[in-house]
Amino acid sequence: MIDLVGWIASALFISSYLVRPALLRRMQVLGALTWTGYGILLHSTPLIVANLLFVLAIGHAVWRGRPGRPDSAVS
pLDDT for the residue 50: 93
For the four alpha carbons of 44, 47, 49 and 52, in that order, the dihedral sign comes to negative
Longest dimension (CA), the chain: 47
pLDDT for the residue 19: 76
pLDDT for the residue 4: 92
The number of residues in the chain equals: 75
For the four alpha carbons of 42, 13, 61 and 75, in that order, the dihedral sign comes to positive
pLDDT for the residue 26: 81
How does pLDDT run across 14-58, given as a tens digit for each residue?
887 787 777 777 888 888 899 999 999 999 999 999 999 988 988
